Amino acid sequence: MSLEFTLTTVEQMEADTARLKETAEKVGIDVWQDRVKNQTPHCGFGEKGICCRICAMGPCRITPKAPKGICGADAHAIAGRNYLRMAAGGGATHSDHGRECAWKLVDSSADGYYHVTDAGKLIQLAKEWGVETEGRDIYDIAHDVGRMCVNEYGKAEGYQLWTKRATEERQKVWMEQGLTPRAVDREVVTAMHMTHMGNTADPEYLVRQALRVGLADGWGGSMTGTQMSDILYGTPVPHDTESNLGVLDKEMVNVVVHGHDPAVSEMIIRYAEDPEMIKKARAVGAKGINVVGLCCTGNEMMMRHNVKMAGNFLQQENVLLTGVVEALCVDVQCIFPNVGPVSECFHTKFYTTSPIARIPFATHLELTSFNAGEIASQILNEAIDNFKNRDESKIFIPDHKHSSWAGYSCEGIKGRLDTVTNSHLDELDTYKPLIECVKSGVLRGAVAMVGCNNPKVRPDYSHIEMMKKLLANDIVIVATGCAAQAAGKAGLLDKRAKIFCGQGLRRVCTLADIPPVLHMGSCVDISRMMNLVCDIAKDWGINTTQLPVVGCAPEWMSEKAVSIANYVVATGIDTYLGIDPLVGGSDKMMHLITEGTKEWVGAGYVIDTNPDTLVDKIIEGIEAKRAALGI
């Protein structure tokens, strides 16, 4: 263990950002910091969730003088409708990503672009869902399973098949509370229908539907996204890579992949590793091709292919401002429209690939299952040709980067346990050693740290500082999305970061040879966390609501995060939010999401925009769960 190991501080990252902002000023382009200034202060009605523009009699805004909209909707109805629409938007988005992944499985073939990589996982799922496997070609099975997944989205009757993976207790609670999710499309349509002018005005039922549409995502669409991606591209296992802007390489052709659906970036990395393509890059004077990731496409690539992580959500403009990006290739979600104008100030070629995300200034190359290789090859060839067009006077690459371990899928975590302890206990594929650590107090509990960056708080500060305090208190962290990337940028995915842990967690990290923050993947991979908590509850023999485990989204910003928070709560896990959920104009809504849901599903939100007190509340919450268990 090197005692010289130090983290990259938020201040150091801010200094990098400030230096890159100077480049932005030099080339005459705005960046998010400028736009935050222009948008501040935000609209007070919007912030409190009490502006309604659902019909053309409005927009209506609630004030003490005008406590009702023209139709008579009050603050509770309006804030509730806005909240449910956010959850529905997020559930639709994750789920549609999952649907695209399922179509790739339907289109997969031995000689096509998309293949079955984890055949074991496919067979296991086929058996779970009653698809015949004996004596069949793996692609016939893949096509049947893929079609079942696709059809799940719009089936007229019944409930989501994935929900059968939850604990018996959760399934019973969901059924009794009328929350068991039907088809994704049905739940999203129901949410939109309920919130139309002249429908639900009682906030309780809006919050209930938010839980249900969330469950349709977490135990439906997102789970499909994760499981299909594992079957197609491989189930992640732990390995080492690097994170932060220093992964960009001046000597290489830099290609940045950004978004969420790994279908494009999988092809890019496959073709970038082709010796012929590397030869072409060398022919133009580069040392090779450096594919690096942003946001959750970056997480997907990092988890499966050792692709380096350039940064998280608020770093997307920074990456371009380094002046060394030959191509930016995006798929869907979390892409600032401003990356188009920023690219125009440099030699960077900007490509969109999905009909769902068409952005001005991009070259649009629409990816299908049958042209994916040609698209990837075209992007890489054009990036290589573009290497010569750099402007030396605009180049600055911050040198911060850290070793980052990623790939802790449920299988990856169990694999570590099997290697270290389970093999001695003659029982494989179990979380029991982990549970023993929690019961004995060596580990106090776990936090699932997820979500975005949001300039309403100091970017990455909440993620990093809260993680450090949790680790010091022997609380292990599983992380996804931009939270996981914040950990990577700071150095908390480095195994040497165990020096920041309390004695118990440090011992566990040493014995299991793991970093203290376990990178579990992208936003849709929060579905892995749902499987993890349910399987731990099963192995322990208690309910999910009893586990000393919480969810936390300290810097969330997207509708997807609202959907996630709803399904995490509905799965029985208290969720701590560092950003206000835009319902503050309704005391009834605030009560429903913090206390009301506890009566239905045994969990709720804790909201505190101060990360220093939020983390203390998490520790208190975990200790209270332990006390209730008598451990």
Distance (Å, whole) CA 393 – CA 342:
16
Whole-Å CA distances, 184 to 151, 192, 241, 522: 10, 12, 35, 20
The residue from 24, 29, 54, 464 that contacts ligand SF4 (CB under 6 A) is 54
Identity at 491, one-letter amino acid code = G
Residue 395 engages ligand SF4 in binding (rule: CB under 6 A): no
Element (H, E) at 114: none
Measured in whole angstroms, how far is the alpha carbon of residue 39 from the centre of its chain?
26
Q: How far is the CB of 249 from ligand MSK (least distance, A)?
A: 23
Among residues 5, 30, 45, 58, the one that binds ligand SF4 under rule CB under 6 A: 58
Cβ of residue 199: shortest distance to ligand SF4, in angstroms? 9
Which window, 56-64, 84-92, 102-110, 408-416, contacts ligand SF4 (CB under 6 A)? 56-64
- Could you tell which of ligand MSK, ligand SF4, none binds residue 53, using a CB distance below 5 to 8 A set by kind? ligand SF4
Q: Rule CB under 6 A: which residues touch ligand MSK?
A: 260, 295-296, 312-313, 334, 451-452, 481-482, 522-523, 558, 560
Q: Is residue 201 close enough to count as binding ligand SF4 by CB under 6 A?
A: no
What, of ligand SF4, ligand MSK, none, does residue 313 touch, CB below 5 to 8 Å by kind? ligand MSK
451 binds, among ligand SF4, ligand MSK, none (CB under 5 to 8 A by kind): ligand MSK
| Rounded distance between C-alpha atoms, residue 313 and residue 281, angstroms | 29
Cβ nearer to ligand SF4, comparing 61 with 182: 61
Q: How far is CA 91 from the centre of its chain?
A: 13
Of 72 and 178, CB closest to ligand SF4:
72
Which residue from 12, 30, 34, 55 is in contact with ligand SF4, where contact means CB under 6 A? 55
Question: Which H or E run contains 112?
Answer: none
Which partner in ligand SF4, ligand MSK, none is near 511 (CB below 5 to 8 A by kind)? none
Which range, of 47-55, 220-228, 375-383, 477-485, touches ligand SF4 by CB under 6 A? 47-55
CB of 194 to ligand SF4, least distance (A): 13
Give dist(CA 164, CA 426) in Å, integer.
Answer: 28
| 51 lies in the binding site for ligand SF4 (CB under 6 A) | no
* Number of helices followed by number of strands (H, E) in the chain: 27, 16
Interaction pattern, residues 61-80, with ligand SF4; x per rule: CB under 6 A: --------xxx-x----x--
Cβ neighbours for 56, distance < 8 A, ≥ 6 positions apart? none
C-beta of residue 175 within 8 angstroms of C-beta of residue 181:
no
For 147-166, b where at least 16 C-beta lie within 10 A, e where not — what string? ebbbebbebeeebbbbbebb
Is residue 457 at the binding interface for ligand SF4, with CB under 6 A as the rule? no
Binding residue (CB under 6 A) for ligand SF4 from 35, 37, 53, 358: 53
As measured in angstroms, the least distance from the Cβ of 189 to ligand SF4 is: 19
Q: Which is nearer to ligand MSK, 398 or 459 (CB)?
A: 459
How many residues touch ligand SF4 under the rule CB under 6 A: the total is: 14
Q: Fill in the per-residue mask, 168 to 197: x = in contact with ligand SF4 (CB under 6 A), - = not in contact.
A: -----------------------------x
Strand partners, 607: 577
Lookup: tokens for 130 = 């009653």
Could you tell me the CA-to-CA distances from 462 to 458, 468, 549 in Å, in that order? 7, 10, 19
Closer to ligand MSK by Cβ: residue 113 or 556: 556
Q: How far is the CB of 89 from ligand SF4 (least distance, A)?
A: 17
Which of ligand MSK, ligand SF4, none binds 57 (CB below 5-8 Å, type-dependent)?
ligand SF4
CA-nearest of 142, 351, 150, 167 to 255 is 351
Return the closest-CA partner of residue 408 out of 455, 476, 336: 476
Phi and psi for 288 in degrees, rounded to 5? 165, -160
Alpha helices for 260-338 (secondary structure H): 263-272, 275-283, 295-305, 316-321
Interface contacts to ligand SF4, rule CB under 6 A? 52-55, 57-60, 69-71, 73, 78, 197
